[in-house]
Chains A and B, each alone.
Chain A
Amino acid sequence: MKIVKANAGALTNFEVLDFLNSRGASKDTTRVIAPIARSEYKVYDYLVETAASTQTRESVTKFADKCKDFKVAKAEILNIINLRPSSIVELLPIIETPDHQALLELVKDLLPPLPTTETHEDNAEEETDNGEQL
């Protein structure tokens, strides 16, 4: 075996999920029929629970384009797309730019939120003083 190019391009979580989906991976019982290895399903199971499951190719490319207005590195854009931060405190560890607020607006505009985080927020409002409940 020879490594021709160790880094032939980075992939977002969404692209990996999209690739597995295109080969027939799914959450239901048909998964045993699809020609996908067990180790690949482990990756798939991790990815469907991340923000990648609600993203589309358009939203990801549009977001990456818009990010060029801010001074953020490619790796940071990739990290934002993968994690989809919904608050400043989630964004802080990822990037160093001072424009946190503006960038956060952009994330909220372009990347769809996780379906699970929305229900999560509803719960949190009911139990304001009990954040550790979940």
Chain B
Amino acid sequence: MFYLSELEHSLRVPPHLLNLPLEDAIKSVLQNVFLDKVLADLGLCVSVYDIKSIEGGFVLPGDGAATYKVRFRIVVFRPFVGEVIAAKFKESDANGLRLTLGFFDDIYVPAPLMPKPNRCEPDPYNKKQMIWVWEYGEPLEDFIIDDSCQIKFRVESISYPSVPTERAEDAKPFAPMVVTGNMDEDGLGPVSWWDSYELIDQEE
């Protein structure tokens, strides 16, 4: 789920940070630049891990600050395909489910990857939402997917869409990294489904 990545970056350390030790000053500049940003094909930057080397310190002509070349490691969030992750429910509509990890919201479980057989019905409390229901067992029982507990999913694919040049009027906010999840497998889906499964299993 989390990886270390090594990066190299040239950065300008503004003069108001000169009162700090060099490493702290550079770290704070790096944090401003990278934290909470998605680097394409690398993932979401979570935290600056350490600084490996600092070179330079040149003052470019006409500039009132020193420029350094820094090599550092950064913690990135980048789930791998096939990984199982526990997330929380965010919203659901006719196209499927949207999950959140708190710090990352662009996880989608599309309708074809929902537990089968399923059905989708309108939510009586929220007009915009739809509720997904898994029909399973003998006699047929309804398992509702809601926000009552954690939901596990398997990472099906990760994509890094490029920034659109034109934006449609009603388009969703742009997401630089989108994770597609799969829930159609034993053990996946809301955690509470499988708690009761375990109990039934022990009784038999």
Question: Which residues of chain A have a CB within 8 Å of any CB of chain B?
Answer: 1-13, 15-16, 19-20, 37, 39-40, 42-43, 45-46, 50, 75, 78-79, 82-83, 87, 89-94, 120-121, 124-125, 128, 131-134
Query: Counting CB contacts under 8 A, is B36 at the interface?
Result: yes
Closest-CB distance, B134 to chain A (whole angstroms) = 12
For window 1-23 of B, CB contacts with A under 8 Å fall at: 1-9
Q: What is the CA–CA distance of A50 and B152 in the complex, to the nearest angstrom?
A: 12
Query: Counting CB contacts under 8 A, is B198 at the interface?
Result: yes
Closest-by-CB residue of B relative to A73 is B82
- Of B2, B5, B185, B192, which is within 8 A of A3 by CB? B5
Which residues on A sit within 8 Å (CB–CB) of B199? 124-125, 128, 131
- Are the C-beta atoms of B47 and A79 separated by less than 8 Å? no
Instruction: State the 6 A-B residue pairs at the shortest beta-carbon distance, nearest first.
Output: A131-B196, A39-B36, A42-B103, A5-B6, A46-B102, A11-B2
Closest-by-CB residue of B relative to A16 is B2
B162-204: CB near A (< 8 Å → 1, else 0) gives 0000000000000000000000011110001111111101000
- Are the C-beta atoms of B36 and A1 separated by less than 8 Å? no
- Of B1, B8, B80, B144, which is within 8 A of A13 by CB? B1
- Are the C-beta atoms of A131 and B187 separated by less than 8 Å? no
Query: Counting CB contacts under 8 A, is B121 at the interface?
Result: no
- Are the C-beta atoms of A39 and B103 separated by less than 8 Å? yes
Interface residues on B, range: 35 or more
Which residues on A sit within 8 Å (CB–CB) of B82? 75
- Are the C-beta atoms of B83 and A8 separated by less than 8 Å? no
- Are the C-beta atoms of A8 and B6 separated by less than 8 Å? yes
Closest-by-CB residue of B relative to A90 is B187
Query: Counting CB contacts under 8 A, is B73 at the interface?
Result: yes
Q: What is the CA–CA distance of A90 and B201 in the complex, to the nearest angstrom?
A: 13
Which residues on A sit within 8 Å (CB–CB) of B77? 43
Q: What is the CA–CA distance of A11 and B51 in the complex, to the nearest angstrom?
A: 17
CB within 8 Å for A83 and B84 given contacts A43-B103, A131-B199: yes
CB within 8 Å for A2 and B9 given contacts A39-B36, A75-B83, A131-B193: yes
Which residues on A sit within 8 Å (CB–CB) of B201? 89
Q: What is the CA–CA distance of A89 and B73 in the complex, to the nearest angstrom?
A: 37
